[in-house]
């Protein structure tokens, strides 16, 4: 039920890039991306609905593959504020499941 | 984005007592509310889904009698942890959706429960 994310954790220097992957064994209706800071609720980043879709802006963007079983989140020229745990999420029938999470730590 | 208010933000209670957590959608009608539990350094685990006016649907392994969920209106859902024990200590988060979660779900601030 729960999507699998990789890597589990990543450490970056400011200005470096990162890619976070989210995989599902079954095709997804849609994929959502959230970021959570320690002790806080998750914050919505974006949603992708269509296979082959790419979305976002210059610094944070995401893609959804044609088969709708994998999504990737791209963080470009990372900033300190990007630190946190990133979750992908997928809706089920009247349910919503989060991925396993990727902890991102951006250092000066 | 829409606003979801969760209360209290943190609570400490004694073993054996019950604790109620409220989740309110302030500026939209939430047909569906989700309740999650999060242990340190882990993902959010879906506990149950509640739809207004009907019984909650619990995930496998979640005790219905221990975690009572009520979704009495389109703007309010409550989670009551009954006869709390230290192992119930966790971060509980609700989220509300207009359409069953197919589009964006909006999160409450979370409740840190500590049972002593």
Tell me how long chain A is.
Answer: 108
**How near does any CA of chain A get to the CA of B104, in Å?**
7
The owner of tokens 């009698």 is B65
Contact B95 A99 (CB under 8 A): no
Query: Is residue A66 predicted with pLDDT exceeding 60?
Result: yes
Q: Return d(Cα A97, Cα A92) in angstroms, integer.
A: 7
Token reading at B44 = 């959010």
Residue of A29, A44, A95 lying closest to B1 (CB–CB): A44
pLDDT in tens, A92-102: 777 888 999 99
DSSP state of B54: S
Report the percent of chain B where pLDDT is more than 90: 69
Residues of A in contact with B106 (CB under 8 A): 44
Closest Cα to residue B102, out of B52, B48, B34, B20?
B34
Residue of A40, A99, A103 lying closest to B110 (CB–CB): A40
Mean pLDDT within B52-80: 91
pLDDT in tens, B84-116: 999 999 999 999 887 655 667 789 999 999 999
Q: Does B16 lie at the interface with A, CB-CB under 8 angstroms?
A: no
The owner of tokens 């959502």 is A32
Q: What residues have CB less than 8 Å from B57, skipping those under 6 apart?
A: A94, A95, B48, B49, B50, B51
Contact A96 B104 (CB under 8 A): no
> Would you say A75 and A56 are in contact if contact means Cβ atoms under 8 Å apart?
no
Residues of B in contact with A42 (CB under 8 A): 44, 93, 107
Residues of A in contact with B6 (CB under 8 A): 41
């Amino acid at each position: 039920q729960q999507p699998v994310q990789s890597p589990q954790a990543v450490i970056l220097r400011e200005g470096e890039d990162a890619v976070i992957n989210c995989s599902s064994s079954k095709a997804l209706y849609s994929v959502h991306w959230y970021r959570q800071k320690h002790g806080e609720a998750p914050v919505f980043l974006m949603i992708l609905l269509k296979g082959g879709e790419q979305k976002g802006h210059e610094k944070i963007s995401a893609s959804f593959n044609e088969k709708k079983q994998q999504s990737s989140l791209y963080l470009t020229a990372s900033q300190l504020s990007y630190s946190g745990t990133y979750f992908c999420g997928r809706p089920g029938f009247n349910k919503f499941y989060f991925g396993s999470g990727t902890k991102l730590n951006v250092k000066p | 984005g829409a606003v979801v208010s969760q209360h209290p933000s943190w609570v400490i209670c004694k073993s054996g007592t019950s604790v109620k957590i409220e989740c309110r959608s302030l500026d939209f009608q939430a047909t569906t509310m989700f309740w999650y539990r999060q242990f340190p350094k882990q993902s959010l685990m879906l506990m149950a889904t509640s739809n207004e006016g009907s019984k909650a649907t619990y995930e496998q392994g979640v005790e219905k009698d221990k975690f009572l969920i009520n979704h009495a209106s389109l703007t309010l859902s409550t989670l009551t942890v009954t006869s709390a024990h230290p192992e119930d200590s966790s971060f509980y988060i609700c989220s509300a959706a207009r359409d069953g979660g197919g589009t964006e779900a909006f999160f409450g601030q979370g409740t840190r429960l500590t049972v002593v």
